[in-house]
């Protein structure tokens, strides 16, 4: 359960990106102190999307799996029993420490950890049969670069699967969604619409194998406590929820205590 040796990958992938580095420092600062909270989070530890990832892994016997932006490791834990090897990959050393410790507790000896950013994967070309990412992509500085890196490290016939919160693509709903997300967590970049994902995927050389929309119910107190959202930011979110038009409150099912529902997607990609 130690860091895996790094392979050079492509020179372009590992070029310096000062803007990415600055953002990645914000991500690490946000998530490192909260690593244990994400391990015990019910929203992260269960779900139909995790079951879907496990089923995809079972369909690829002996798979080498990359859990990209692994967080507390739930994708790794669900897929490791069906894989030859899983690499849990994340920007946060604290998150990786939680993954390694929990993998040991569960007896999952085929999980390794690796520190790094999604836009520069320290692996050789065609290293993995499956690349999975769940609730991480909305933090990435450059999704297009990350998708190109995923394609580079994917073996022929492999699959990439992205699970994330999704924008509807409707301007009013989108503006509200991005606003509450960044108020809650300053490392947030963007929740993309399905159409945006498909355009970015095509640009990286992927086609869509399957698309599954879902919803995610969030308890306001738990959602903000998990990210240690400052009180002024919580007040701003609640004020925004109250001030929005009725159709926004209906779509997101905003409740009196601030709890609400988000749209999510699971996008399975193949090369070509």
The candidate with the shortest Cα–Cα distance to 82, out of 103, 53, 105, 104, is 53
Q: What is the CATH number of domain 19-166+189-216+263-271?
A: 3.40.50.150
Question: Looking at residues 1-10, what average pLDDT do you find?
Answer: 43
CB 32 within 8 A of CB 99: no
pLDDT digits (tens, 9 = 90+) for 127-174: 999 999 999 999 999 999 999 999 999 999 999 999 999 999 999 999
Distance (Å, whole) CA 239 – CA 184: 13
- The residue ranges of every structural domain in the chain are 19-166+189-216+263-271
Instruction: List the strands of the sheet with 260-271, edge to edge.
Output: 111-115, 85-90, 64-68, 128-134, 154-165, 260-271, 206-218
DSSP code at position 265 = E
- pTM of the entire structure? 0.87
pLDDT at 16: 45
pLDDT digits (tens, 9 = 90+) for 87-127: 999 998 999 999 999 999 999 999 999 999 999 999 999 99
């Amino acid at each position: 359960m130690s860091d895996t040796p790094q392979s050079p990958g492509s020179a372009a992938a590992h070029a310096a990106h000062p803007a990415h580095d600055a953002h990645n420092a914000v991500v690490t600062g946000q998530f490192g102190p909260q690593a244990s909270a994400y391990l015990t989070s019910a929203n992260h530890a269960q779900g139909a999307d995790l079951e879907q990832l496990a089923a995809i892994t079972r369909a690829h016997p002996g798979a080498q799996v990359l859990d990209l932006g692994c967080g507390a490791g739930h994708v790794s834990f669900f897929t490791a029993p069906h894989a030859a090897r899983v690499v849990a990959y994340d920007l946060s050393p604290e998150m990786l420490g939680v993954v390694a410790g929990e993998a040991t507790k569960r007896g999952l000896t085929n999980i390794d950890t690796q520190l790094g950013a999604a836009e520069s994967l320290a692996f050789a070309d065609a290293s993995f049969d499956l690349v999975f990412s769940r609730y991480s992509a909305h933090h990435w500085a450059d999704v297009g670069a990350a998708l190109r890196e995923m394609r580079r490290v994917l073996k022929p016939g492999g699959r990439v699967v992205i699970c994330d919160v999704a924008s509807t693509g409707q301007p009013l709903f989108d503006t509200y969604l991005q606003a509450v997300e960044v108020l809650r967590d300053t490392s947030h970049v963007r929740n993309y619409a399905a159409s945006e994902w498909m355009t970015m995927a095509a640009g990286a050389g992927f086609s869509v194998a399957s698309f599954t929309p879902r919803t995610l119910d969030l308890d306001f107190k738990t959602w903000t406590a998990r990210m240690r959202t400052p009180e002024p930011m919580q007040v701003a979110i609640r004020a925004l929820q109250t001030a929005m038009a009725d159709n926004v409150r209906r779509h997101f099912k905003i409740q009196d205590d601030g709890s609400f529902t988000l749209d999510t997607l699971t996008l399975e990609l193949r090369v070509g």
